[in-house]
Amino acid sequence: MSARIVCFGELLLRLAAPGRELLLQSPRLEVHVGGAEANVGVSLARFGHEVAMLGTVADNALGRAVLGELRRHGVDTRAVHLAAGRMGLYFLATGAGHRPSEVLYDRADSAFALAPADGYDWPALLRGAGWLHLSGVTPALGAATAAAAADAVRAAVAQGVQVSFDGNFRPKLWAAWDGDPASILRPLLDGAAIAFADHRDIDVVLGADDASADTHEQRFAIAARRAFDAFPRLQRIACTTRAQSSVDHHALGALMATRDGALHRVEPRELPGIVDRIGGGDAFAAGVLHGLASGWDDADSLRFGHAAGCLKHAVPGDFNLCDAEDVMALVRGERLDVKR
């Protein structure tokens, strides 16, 4: 197995309306632990990797419970800072039929958002790591987290640690302050070896492109070439494709472009009866990283990531709790008999 993988980002509590209810339609909320980077870390730990979480949580019962949940899944949390303040929250009302799901963020002034950028000793935190994974959610939270993310990527590049960056563009978070996404995200992409991004994420950083394209795949290929031209360290760009018949029925495919001009694809798989789509992109990213960190070729890594993303849609909560063998069974197309 590969060298240690470290994930930097905010640990969150998700408070969800039960079933398909609207928020506070009844006076109950269901709690799950999540966060984009933590979702990736838990998946990778369950796939057998040595994974450490980096960041800051509230020094209270909620923060300690969140850290305990990550440890339960095999993630090392010893380097996570505890600080006075509050946990970041988000509220979820799961959609039904043709009513979409809705997320309400409550993350302003969390312990993570207010943690000073110079409070992280990046050379020490990244020592012995093979990969650093982070996402565009972190810099979207404010100036301090944007600076911390940039410092982390800069230190990783200096120490020869490969950077995995997930675009995860969140307009609601960026709209809450006066940060400029293009200028803030550019150095993160500049340091990345792999980016999980589609043409919209690339357009945020490089500006919209007026090249004509009829399909999502063509738009992705054009955006990938623009990104490779702009960011010399970038070797791979991967994303999922999604067609939605209803909230409960999607078709999920996957694409990966490489610097040498190759374009790998996985044909869409129908996903009827979706249980929970939150974290599906993180499960996909973790699956691709598992393949690359294990020395697999690009096509096999993409197939594994796609299968992991598909399986997450059948797991409640933010974390993908499927093990590597569960994912490989789907890659192999094994029958869905009851396991006895």
The predicted-structure confidence for 249-293, as pLDDT tens digits, reads as follows 999 999 999 999 999 999 999 999 999 999 999 999 999 999 999
Chain mean position to CA 120: 21
Give me the amino acid identity at 313. Answer: H
pLDDT digits (tens, 9 = 90+) for 144-193: 999 999 999 999 999 999 999 999 999 999 999 999 999 999 999 999 99
Dig out the tokens for 186 from the structure: 């550019």
φ, ψ for residue 210, nearest 5 deg: -95, 10
Instruction: State the Cα–Cα distance between residues 72 and 255, nearest whole angstrom.
Output: 32
pLDDT top residue among 174 and 338: 174
pLDDT tens digits, 167-180 = 999 999 999 999 99
- DSSP code string of 133-169: EEETTTGGG-HHHHHHHHHHHHHHHHTT-EEEEE---
Query: Please, which pLDDT band fits residue 44 given cuts at 50, 70 and 90?
Result: very high
Q: Where are the domains of the chain?
A: 9-325
The pLDDT tens digits for 287-327 are 999 999 999 999 999 999 999 999 999 999 999 999 999 99
Residue 1 reports pLDDT greater than 70: no
Of these residues, 282, 298, 323, 326, which one is catalytic?
Answer: 282
* Both tokens assigned to 299: 């096509």
The 10s digit of each residue's pLDDT in 125-136 is 999 999 999 999
Whole-number pLDDT of residue 248: 94
**pLDDT for res 212:** 75
| pLDDT beyond 80 at 339 | no
Task: Tell me what the mean pLDDT of segment 109-115 comes to.
Answer: 97
Which three-class secondary structure state does DSSP give residue 23? coil
Mean pLDDT of 211-224: 88
Given pLDDT bands bounded at 50, 70 and 90, which one contains residue 2?
A: low
* Mean pLDDT score, 221-243: 97
* pLDDT value of position 336: 72
Q: CA 1: distance to chain centroid?
A: 21
Q: How confident is the model at residue 43 (pLDDT cuts 50, 70, 90)?
A: very high
CATH of range 9-325; options 3.40.190.10, 3.40.640.10, 3.90.650.10, 3.40.1190.20: 3.40.1190.20
282 catalytic residue (yes or no):
yes
Has residue 340 got a pLDDT over 80?
no
- pTM listed for this prediction: 0.96
For 58-105, the pLDDT digits (tens) are 999 999 999 999 999 999 999 999 999 999 999 999 999 889 999 999
